Structure formats: C-alpha cells, structure tokens
C-alpha cells in the first residue's frame, strides 16, 4: 500500500471522449505512482497513452474522474503542476525560426530556470547544435532538444511521451542512463512507449493500455514472474521423456523432431542444471521478456471485439 506522503501521481477514473469516436479514448483509468517509481506506459499507437498524459497536465480536460499530482489537483492547479514537472510531448513541435539555445533558455524559464550543471551535462551528451536555427535540425536533434528542455530543470516528476523516438542507439543509451540516475536519486517518471525493449531495463513498474483501458499495473519483477522462460535442447542419446517432464520448474515439454522445448515457470537455473547432467547435443535458452507478454495481450483472440480486457495480468 502506498504511503500517502510518497504519492506523486494519484488519479482515478480518468475518462476522455472525443467527438466522432465510437468509444472513449481513455476509460476509467486509475493510477498511483510513488516517489522513485519509473512507470513504463506501454501500448500501440492510438491506445490512449498521449491522451492520458494530456489529462494529467490538464491539456485535455477529463470528462470523468480526477486526482492529484504532487498533492495538487490536476485541473484546478494545473499551472502550478506544469512548473514542477518535466514534460515532453510525443509530437515535438518547436519554433523553427529560433536558435536552439534561445529556445532552450525560453522553455527552461517557464520552470524557473535551468539546473546549470545538469544542462551542461545534457548538452555534452546530446551535442545539439544550439547556435543553429531549429528549422535546420534533423528530427533526432529536435527530439534531443525537447528532452533537454524537459530534463534540465529541477523537477519532481517526468512525463515523457515516446521520448526515445528518432534517437540513434548511442543517444538512446545516454537517455536511459540519465533516467536510471534520476530514478536512483528518488525521481519519479512516466515514460510512454510502444517499444518495450527500450524501457524494460529502467522501469520499476509497467502498465499496458489497450483501446483506452489499462490492462494491468504491476512491479516489473512481478510481471516477469508471470512469464515463462524457454529452453530448447537436443540430445546425443534418446532421452527418457518422463524424466524430462519431471525437471524442476518445467511446466510443459513439447517435442519437435529431435528438439525438446521446455517451458519453465520463473527462474530456469534449476532446470538448466538438471539438463547439464544429461547427454546434451545442443542447448538454447531464451529468457522471457515483456515483449512476450505484450504480444500475448495484443493477440486478437484475446479480445475478438476489441472491447474487453482484464484489469490484471
């Protein structure tokens, strides 16, 4: 149970409808984030991620529900909230006629100014050409300028909508290193993405949203505990299949020609040790990732009408 004093985001029942759509963009969304949480908010394009973030900042007024950020009401106190939050939009739109440095200083002034040490580090990491006009920037450079504006001022919460989009691998690594340090320093972040592998390493919690419904919200380690690891092995001698089915942690064994596929619940180390005592010809191991769960949740047969969805994994 979250300590009330540690709650950074505490919202309930958030619902938003747009004219012309046959269903709400977001339906009855409830979310609580504590200090130090990094929440991976995952779903395909159009699932409701951006609308949710806009409601948190009162850039889209909820049709139902409410809540608080940093103890401030998300509608009544939205201006005060925005000064204390680092925000990056999923659709980066900047003033093209301004030079990057001028625009950056202006955006940071809306939050009371920059943390100069952090600003210098971000500039050194991202290497955005601040002396050039924004209209000459590549999409990746615009993305990095927007990230710098979101992260270079003292903030208690980051709301980042698809922040790694358009970044090359080295810049993504720089960004996630910064998020790890922010998290370890007690900062709280909500990072939306449709690419699980990009955020899995830094998140402490994860939630999947589909057609406006939050399908789950759990600690990331607990979610991994629901996933099966897979071992694929072949043997130099015909194995005793009954013995294989009795290996520790193995829930299911399937045979495909000369190969056996073992589905292991949770930690696979005991099963791997047991297999090492057998006459192996080959062995492959694949640790389950959140991508596996993501694929399972978005399989059409899970929800043929596209309207259902469980509130738990």
User: What is the per-residue pLDDT across 114-164, written as a single tens digit (0 to 9) for each?
Assistant: 999 999 999 999 999 999 999 999 999 999 999 999 999 989 999 999 998
CATH number of this structure's domain 228-287: 3.30.70.260
The predicted pLDDT at position 202 comes to: 84
Is the separation of the CB atoms in 66 and 13 below 8 Å? yes
What helix, strand, coil percent values describe the chain, rounded to 5?
A: 35, 30, 35
Is the pLDDT at 308 greater than 60, yes or no?
A: no
At 118, list the tokens. 């952090």
Please state, in angstroms and rounded to a whole number, the distance separating the CA atoms of residues 306 and 264. 30
Strand order in the sheet with 7-16: 26-34, 7-16, 64-69, 72-73
Give every CB contact of residue 234 below 8 A, 6+ residues apart in sequence.
258, 259, 260, 280, 281, 282
pLDDT digits (tens, 9 = 90+) for 278-296: 999 999 887 766 676 666 6
Q: Which two tokens mark 52?
A: 């949710």
Give the range with max mean pLDDT: 16-25, 247-256, 297-306.
16-25
Strands (DSSP E) found in the chain: 7-16, 26-34, 38-42, 64-69, 72-73, 85-88, 157-161, 188-193, 205-210, 213-219, 228-235, 250-256, 259-265, 280-286
pLDDT confidence of residue 307: 38
The yes/no answer on whether domain 4-216 falls in CATH 3.40.50.300 is yes
Whether the per-residue pLDDT at 267 is higher than 80: the answer is no
The CA–CA distances, whole Å, from 265 to 217, 222, 228, 285, 291 equal 21, 13, 5, 13, 16
Q: Which of 139-153, 159-173, 262-276 has the highest mean pLDDT?
A: 139-153
Tens of pLDDT, residues 37-58: 999 998 888 899 999 999 999 9
Q: How do the domains of the chain map onto residue ranges?
A: 4-216, 228-287
Q: What pLDDT score does 301 carry?
A: 38
Mean pLDDT of 242-269: 86
Q: Can you tell me which residue has the tokens 């340090």?
A: 181
Round the average pLDDT of the chain to a whole number and report it. Answer: 87
The predicted-structure confidence for 203-253, as pLDDT tens digits, reads as follows 999 998 989 999 888 888 777 666 668 899 999 999 888 899 899 988 889
Percentage of the chain beyond pLDDT 90 is 57
């Amino acid at each position: 149970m979250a300590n009330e004093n540690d709650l950074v985001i505490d919202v309930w029942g958030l619902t938003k409808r747009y004219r012309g759509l046959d269903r709400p963009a977001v339906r009855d969304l409830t979310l609580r984030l504590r200090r130090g949480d990094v929440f991976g908010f995952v779903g395909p394009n159009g699932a409701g991620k951006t609308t949710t973030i806009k409601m948190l900042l009162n850039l889209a007024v909820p049709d139902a529900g409410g809540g608080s950020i940093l103890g401030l009401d998300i509608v009544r106190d939205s201006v005060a909230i925005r000064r204390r939050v680092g925000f990056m939009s999923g659709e980066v739109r900047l003033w093209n006629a301004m030079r990057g440095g001028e625009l950056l200083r202006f955006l940071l002034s809306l939050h009371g100014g920059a943390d100069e040490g952090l600003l210098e580090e971000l500039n050194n990491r991202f290497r955005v050409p601040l002396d050039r006009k924004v209209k000459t920037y590549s999409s990746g450079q615009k993305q990095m300028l927007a990230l710098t504006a979101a992260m270079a001022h003292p903030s208690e919460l980051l709301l980042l909508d698809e922040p790694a989009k358009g970044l090359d691998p080295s810049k993504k690594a720089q960004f996630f290193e910064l998020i790890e340090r922010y998290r370890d320093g007690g900062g709280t972040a909500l990072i939306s993405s449709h690419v699980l592998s990009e955020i899995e390493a830094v998140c402490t919690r994860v939630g999947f949203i589909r057609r406006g419904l939050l399908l789950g919200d759990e600690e990331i380690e607990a979610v991994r505990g629901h996933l099966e690891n897979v071992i694929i092995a072949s043997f130099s001698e015909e194995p005793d299949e009954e013995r294989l089915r009795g290996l520790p942690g193995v829930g299911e064994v399937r045979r495909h020609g000369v190969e056996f596929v073992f589905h292991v619940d949770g930690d696979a180390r005991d099963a791997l040790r047991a297999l090492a005592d057998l006459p192996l010809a080959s062995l492959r191991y694949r640790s389950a990732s959140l991508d596996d769960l993501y694929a399972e949740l978005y399989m059409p047969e899970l929800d043929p009408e596209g309207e259902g969805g469980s509130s738990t994994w």
